[in-house]
Amino acid sequence: MTRQWQKSAEVELSFPLAFRLYDGMGTMRARPLVLYLRGNSFGARPKPECDAPAALAMAEAGAMVVEADYGTPSGNTFPGALECGFEALRHLLAKRKRFANNRSRVLLAGDEAGGNIAASLALKARDAMPGELAGQVLLSPMIDPRMATASFHRADEIGMRIPWSNGWSHYLASACGYQHPYAAPCLCSRLADVAPALIVTSDDDPLRDETLDYAARLQSAGVSVTTRILPDDCGWTGLYDGKNGGWHSRFSTEFSQFLEGLPT
């Protein structure tokens, strides 16, 4: 059964970025607190103000989800977007009681371009605040600027090749290439000791191969990784258009099980 949830864009809570709150009304005494970063191909314009299906799914699993607008103040460029996300994460860690509970575990989550930021933040959190982040949830992270995998050839089928290509050019415009480990985590050579990860893609996802490659590299570095490949009939790629689908309830279940397996 789907849990009841409430959301508000105008809750009186101190936060460094504009945000939306998805309150899953979970029954856990110390509900997990998730900083969620929505994708938009690093587009300059934010998506319309509508519910994020992935955020709803995590809220329905009992989490308090804070969707942060990292793109508007940063212009969706590196390193500004990462710095905005890090400030939001640091705030949640310090002020978690205002949102959930002072014993709540804090996780990162992101899809597509937001998944890139989430993966980068997990690396930075390991380096700057080791042991503070409980987990990371990466949903088809847009994580490889080379765009040369076999599955990426399907990008044209869903009209995403140009948005993704333009998005990478925009995001890295002020960076010195993409060799910085926080700019393109898939190229990072030091992945050990990052937070446990739930990584989700689908059989028909153009970002499938780069997603699975990153999951495998995390595992090789000794990171606890749960990888899920959804079937191609679940509508997973609707995620890029903010569409719900058959994947919604399954992801909510997978997320709930991931939470149960995390250290307390």
Please indicate, yes or no, if residue 36 is contained in any of the structural domains.
Answer: yes
pLDDT of residue 168: 94
In a domain, 186, yes or no: yes
- Please name the residue ranges forming H helices in the chain: 53-60, 71-74, 80-94, 96-99, 113-128, 161-171, 208-220, 247-261
Average pLDDT estimate for 74-101: 91
The pLDDT of residue 225 is above 70:
yes
Is 1 within a domain? Answer: no
- Of 11-15, 114-118, 121-125, the least confident: 11-15
Q: What's the number of domains the chain is made of? A: 1
Query: What is the span of the domain harbouring residue 249?
Result: 7-261
Across the range 8-17, mean pLDDT stands at 61
pLDDT at 176: 63
> Does 167 reside within a domain?
yes
Identify whether the C-beta of residue 107 lies closer than 8 Å to the C-beta of residue 32: yes
Tokens encoding 250: 């399954």
Residue 10 has pLDDT above 60, yes or no: no
Q: Residue 200 in contact with residue 139, Cβ under 8 Å?
A: yes
- Distance separating alpha carbons of residues 60 and 101, to the nearest angstrom: 18
53 domain-assigned? yes
* Percent of the chain with pLDDT strictly greater than 90: 70
Determine the pLDDT at residue 6: 41
More confident of the two residues 138 and 31:
138
The answer to whether position 65 is within a domain reads: yes
Q: Is the pLDDT of residue 69 over 50?
A: yes
Write down the pLDDT at residue 103. Answer: 87
Given this model, what pLDDT does residue 152 score?
97
3-class state of residue 172 by DSSP? coil
Q: Place 19 in a pLDDT band, splitting at 50, 70 and 90.
A: confident
Is residue 143 pLDDT above 90, yes or no? Answer: yes
- Rounded average pLDDT over 45-67: 83
Q: Do the domain assignments include residue 44?
A: yes
pLDDT for res 2: 32
The neighbour count for residue 77, using CB atoms within 10 Å, is: 17
Q: How many residues does the chain have?
A: 264
Question: Percent of the chain beyond pLDDT 70?
Answer: 89
Alpha carbon distance 73, 52 (integer Å): 20
What value does the mean pLDDT take over residues 87-111?
91
- Arithmetic mean of pLDDT over the chain: 89
Decide if pLDDT at 44 tops 60: no
Q: For 178-220, write each residue's pLDDT tens digit.
A: 678 899 898 888 999 999 999 999 999 999 999 999 999 999 9
- Please tell me whether residue 22 adopts helix, strand or coil conformation: strand
What pLDDT is recorded for position 17?
86
Classified as helix, coil or strand, 238 is: helix
Cα separation, 165 vs 156, in Å, equals: 11
Q: Domain containing 182 — which CATH number?
A: 3.40.50.1820
Can you tell me the mean pLDDT for 110-115? 97
Residue 194 resides in a domain: yes
Are the C-beta atoms of 93 and 87 separated by less than 8 Å? no
